[in-house]
Amino acid sequence: RRPEAYVEHFRALFEEALRRRTRSAFPVGCLLSGGLDSSSITALAASHGTAVEAFTAFSQDPASDERRYARQVCQAAGIPHWEFTGTCDDPLQGLDELLRDVESPLVSTDRNASVLTALLHSRRCRVVLTGEGGDHLLDEDGYLADLIVRARPARFLRETRQFAKWYGVSAGEIGTSALQVALPVAPKTWAKRMLRR
């Protein structure tokens, strides 16, 4: 009935989703890029009294380094913040030490993932939260899915072609992605089961 009700309802859902995911006897790790999604998750988790530690992978390129935003979030929330870079010329450099730190035979070839795994292990984090996918409802998939749900096929086709042209991919690829977002959970679950068989 009021525009503010959308914000209030979203906040209630967001807090409940976060509360359910942070039940742990160990610290909760947050992969904090400094962007809106991971910053919101990290700050809200910390505000609930959860033992939170933030982990930021940073780029050596000054134009892509967003550590200052991540640092501001951690300072405001009063939580530990760990920064690391996984960039290295030789991906095998220090592999023996890394295997010893991770204590697992499964080590990703992605240096960031390997360093992060070692860091999380050393800090005893058993639950890890990220902002990954947080903007999917606000990007083209969510926008196009809304057009499907609101039964606007002509506009959906026109906009899908425009997005495909912009990204340099096929309209089918963009349209399929939007359809996946628009489908209710039950048909998606059924389709996955059928595909597995």
Q: How far is CA 53 from the centre of its chain?
A: 16
According to the 3-state scheme, what is the secondary structure of 63-119?
A: HHCCHHHHHHHHHHHCCCEEEECCCCCCCCCCHHHHHHHHCCCCCCCCHHHHHHHHH
Q: Encoding tokens for residue 40?
A: 């919101």
Compare 4 and 85 and report the one with higher pLDDT: 4
Tell me what pLDDT residue 128 has.
87
* 118, pLDDT greater than 80: no
Taking the C-alpha atoms of residue 60 and residue 13, their distance in angstroms, rounded to an integer, is 37
**0.75 exceeded by the pTM?**
no
- The per-residue pLDDT for range 45-55, each reduced to its tens digit, is 999 888 999 99
The predicted model gives 127-142 an average pLDDT of 76
Tell me what pLDDT residue 79 has.
94
The overall average pLDDT reported for the chain is 82
- The per-residue pLDDT for range 22-33, each reduced to its tens digit, is 888 899 999 998
- The per-residue pLDDT for range 65-110, each reduced to its tens digit, is 888 999 999 999 999 999 887 555 555 566 566 566 555 544 454 5
